[in-house]
Amino acid sequence: MKLKKTLSLDTVWIDLKADTKQGIIAEMIDRLVAVGKIKDRDAALQAALEREEKMSTGMQNGVAIPHGKTDSVKSLVSAVGLNKAGVDFDSMDGEPATIFIMTISPLKHRGPHMQFLAEVSRLLSQSSEREKLLACQTHNEMHELLTGK
C-alpha cells in the first residue's frame, strides 16, 4: 500500500489546533467528517477513544498514531496532521507528540490498516523525515512529501 492511495490533499493538515489528546482525536475525526471521508462521526470517535483508553497510541520521537475500528466505514480512512506546539499524548518516551497519523478502518479488515501503519512507521522512523514533515508550511507541501506527488 502506498500513502498516495490513502492520503489526499484534504486529509493532511499542518494546523491542528487542539491541545489535548482527546481534542486532537476529535479534531481529526471532525475534519474527516467535513471532507466526507467519515459518515458516522460518533461511531468513529468512540472507536478511536476506546482504543486510546486501552493503551496510548503516543509512540516516541513526537509521533502519535490514534486509530480505531468500526463498521461505520467501508474501507481504510487515513489522515496526517501536525501540531507543532506539541500535545501530551502519554507517549512512550514522555515527550509531546507533534505528528499525528490517524486511521479508521472496518472491524474485519486487517490488511490495509497494518500495511498503512507499517509504511508510515517506516517513513517516520527516520529523524530527517520527521524534520522535513514538521518544516512543511502548507498542506500541499506536506501532501507532496508524504505521497511523492
Catalytic positions, written as ranges: 67
Spatial separation of the C-alpha atoms in residues 92 and 3, rounded to whole Å: 25
Are 31 and 79 a contacting pair, CB within 8 Å? Answer: yes
Three-class SS state of 39: coil
Alpha helices in 35-135 (DSSP H): 41-54, 111-124, 127-135
Residue with cell 490488511: 111
Spatial separation of the C-alpha atoms in residues 25 and 23, rounded to whole Å: 5
